[in-house]
Amino acid sequence: MTTRFRVTLLTAACLTWLAGAAWAQQPNFSPAVYGDGAVWGTKGTTSLPAPNAHNQQSFDKLFVFVNGAPGQLPVSEAAPRNPLYNGGRWFTQTVMWTAAGLAAYDTLPVLMSYDEILQQQAQGYLAIAPGSPAGGPPPYFQCPLLPVK
């Protein structure tokens, strides 16, 4: 083997090892929230005080189901790449399928977007109340949405 070939081989091996080590250290953002029809991950929450008249618009609604379909994740009002997304500042909303909604479906659908929430609510299939359900996240909190890896 020539010296140049050995150096090239050693360099390639080092780069492969470094790429593998960097990949192994990437955080695992598991599916946690549906937003704009996609699944998003998140890590950590920080409670925030209730907004005032000056910052109310800086919160997005996060819809938490108490009787949703199996696999139903919370649904965000907006997600990254949506111009209305506020960076992960949330006002929790408790969502419950109504008797009419439960009767309308043999199997409840998994809702993945704010538009779907609004459609089901307009039909009288969802009841939505401001605030968090028992055992849910704080009513106001910060938690960014991140790509699932």
Q: What is the pLDDT of residues 64-106, one digit of tens each?
A: 999 999 999 999 999 999 999 999 999 999 999 999 999 999 9
Classify residue 123: in a domain, yes or no.
Answer: yes
Classify residue 56: in a domain, yes or no.
Answer: yes
64-73 confidence digits (pLDDT tens): 999 999 999 9
Q: Where is 64: in which H helix or E strand? A: strand 60-65
Separation between Cα atoms, residue 17 and residue 119, nearest integer Å: 50
Separation between Cα atoms, residue 73 and residue 129, nearest integer Å: 17
What percent of the residues of the chain are helix, what percent strand, and what percent coil, each to the nearest 5? 25, 25, 50
Classify residue 8: in a domain, yes or no.
Answer: no
25-53 confidence digits (pLDDT tens): 455 568 899 999 999 998 878 899 999 98
| Sign of the CA dihedral running 37, 61, 49, 80 | positive
Classify residue 7: in a domain, yes or no.
Answer: no
Phi and psi at 38, nearest 5°, equal -120, 165
What's 130's DSSP letter? E
Classify residue 45: in a domain, yes or no.
Answer: yes
pTM of this prediction? 0.80
Q: What is the domain range of residue 40?
A: 27-147
Classify residue 18: in a domain, yes or no.
Answer: no
Classify residue 15: in a domain, yes or no.
Answer: no
Separation between Cα atoms, residue 95 and residue 72, nearest integer Å: 11
How many domains, in total, are found in the chain? 1
Classify residue 16: in a domain, yes or no.
Answer: no
Other CB atoms closer than 10 Å to residue 31's CB: what's the count? 13
